[in-house]
Amino acid sequence: MAVGKQLYYEDVVEGSNITQLIKQPTTTQLVMWAGASGDYNAIHYDKDYALKQGLPGVIVHGQLAGAFLGQMLTDWVGDKGNISKLSLSYKGKNFPGEALTCQGKVIKKYIEENQHLVTLRIWAENPGEEKTLTGTAVVRLPSKSDT
């Protein structure tokens, strides 16, 4: 969705893909995330420590990848939409310096208690197209009939 454009419930089509978000996390960003989140596990910023733990190098915090999925959703729903539910499951690793691609697909749209809701399947992929983070989300959108 273009920046500044509001998505409305009536615009959503079941089975359609939502606008993807591609991030390029850096080791600097991982250190900043550690400070913001309180997750100071050295596998996220110390290459030697990560190697000693059997990892191929520093890895991106799973919660940071989850935050990127949240950003994708909030970008998609626009200023008048919001995330009602978000559930994530960690499946693999992402590495700084590599593209982390966030994607989603509309599964269902419905009205419940006068709220216009959309359920989505969401995921993050590494450059090898391995799904490293999967989940579901429910977003609430404004209706054109409410404007």
- Quote the longest CA-to-CA distance of the chain: 58
**Which uninterrupted H or E stretch holds 132?**
strand 131-141
- Mean pLDDT for all residues in the chain: 95
CATH class as words, domain 9-24+61-146: alpha beta
pTM greater than the 0.85 cutoff? yes
Q: Which of 81, 80, 72 is nearest to 103 (CA)?
A: 72
Is beta strand 100-112 parallel, antiparallel or unpaired with respect to 82-90?
unpaired
Q: Tell me the torsion sign for CA atoms 104, 105, 111, 112.
A: negative
Domain boundaries, the chain: 9-24+61-146
Q: How far apart are CA 86 and CA 26, in angstroms?
A: 25
Q: What is the pLDDT of residues 75-125, one digit of tens each?
A: 999 999 999 999 999 999 999 999 999 999 999 999 999 999 999 999 999
Of the pLDDT bands very low, low, confident and very high (cuts 50, 70, 90), residue 146 is confident
**Strand 115-125, strand 82-90: pairing:** unpaired
